[in-house]
Amino acid sequence: MELITIALYLVLLLYVILMVQLILGYDKVKSFKRTDVEPKTAFSIILPFRNEEKNLPKLLASFSKLNYPYKLIEIVMVDDFSTDSSERVCIKWRLEHEFLDTTLLENLRLSNSPKKDAIGRAVPIIKHDWIITTDADCTVPKNWLLTLDDYIQKNQPEMIVGAVAYKTKNNWFHKFQQLDLLSLQGTTIGSFGIGKPFMCNGANFAYTKKLFNELDGFNSNDTMASGDDVFLLQKATKHHLDKIHYLKNTESIVKTKPENDLFHFFMQRVRWASKTTGYQSTYAKFLAVIILMMNVGLVVGCLLCVIGIFDLRLLLGVFSAKYLVDYWLLYKTNRYLLKGKWILPLATSIIYPFYSSLVGIYSLFGSFSWKGRQFSK
């Protein structure tokens, strides 16, 4: 038991150091305040979708409300072989919005990653240099492009990572997902602050066509089903770290939907976690390993306490230290993304190590389903 205790304390020490580093990094990423400048940046919005007939109307409606000159917007929709009426939804919307420059394409499967294929299908035909990707289950804010344009004019980046938050119902399951996403978003912002960005969300991700082509797109990681966002970001950090920025502005936060059932939630998280083995960032891999070891350590410690061979006080001490640093980062991220709409995550923090350990371990060996398709490691 002494060796287990020492190992647990060592992992805790590394975990706390890494989390405090991210917390301090979070504060280094300054909020951007939009000003009234004349819009100049032309954007090509790429929207891959598959079987999204229920979600597309809300996203397309939010596109219609964008507060930005229509002549500077192009929307390219790529249908990934939908088996529902998604294509008809898009066609109807295009006919009702002929003043917008829109294109509807069918995906061309070339790899194990349908979403990367969809983006790769669109890039050669887009008209503008700035690409933005989003997801069909999202809605975008009306000043989304205005804020991006203002930031681009003032900072001249080549890649911009934006925030994503859930639009939740008032139930515990949705709140749990919200807190889980907050931890990912907080880690994303913190990693930018310490100069080691490795994570982003394709639902709010912008980059230049020039950079995409310079990085050779998704080549070298198209065997992995997921990761159209993080792998491109990590490739970019090797060559243009100073040109990759995080946009911290409440007017640019894209809203998405949480899952409504446990199975789809678990499959989504496994899909996200499966990217970790393909990370190019040594820091990201080390962080992921320590987080997994921390959560597995708490689960093992809990089981040993149940059978009476581990000191409960030691376990509570480790849990409390982890809880405090987690709370610190979540609190900061919550103030930005949710404007202080907060619930105390104590119950969530007790459950989280079990959930995180299961997802992390399963993602290393198991398969996952996504949009009616099965993917394996």
CA 241, distance to chain mean position in Å, is 19
pTM: 0.94
Residue 74 pLDDT: 98
What whole-number distance in Å separates Cα of residue 1 and Cα of residue 310?
7
Residue 10 pLDDT: 96
Domain residue ranges of the chain, discontinuous segments joined by +: 2-26+281-375, 29-261
Residue 4 pLDDT: 82
DSSP state at residue 206: E
Closest CA to 272 of 181, 144, 158: 181
Class of domain 29-261: alpha beta
Residue 345 pLDDT: 65
How many C-alpha atoms does 44 have within 13 Å on its Cβ side?
A: 21
Burial 144-175 (b: 16+ CB within 10 A, else e): bbbbbbbbbeeeebbbbbbbbbbebeeeeebb
Residue 328 pLDDT: 94
Closest CA to 130 of 144, 117, 114, 141: 144
Residue 197 pLDDT: 97
Residue 292 pLDDT: 96
- pLDDT tens over the chain, length 377 residues: 688 889 999 999 999 999 999 999 999 999 999 999 999 999 999 999 999 999 999 999 999 999 999 999 999 999 999 999 999 999 999 999 999 999 999 998 888 888 999 999 999 999 999 999 999 999 999 999 999 999 999 999 999 999 999 988 778 898 899 989 999 999 999 999 999 999 999 999 999 999 999 999 888 765 666 667 899 999 999 989 999 999 999 999 999 999 999 999 999 999 899 888 888 899 999 999 999 999 999 999 999 998 888 889 999 999 999 999 999 999 999 999 987 666 556 778 889 999 999 999 999 888 888 777 877 76
Residue 221 pLDDT: 66
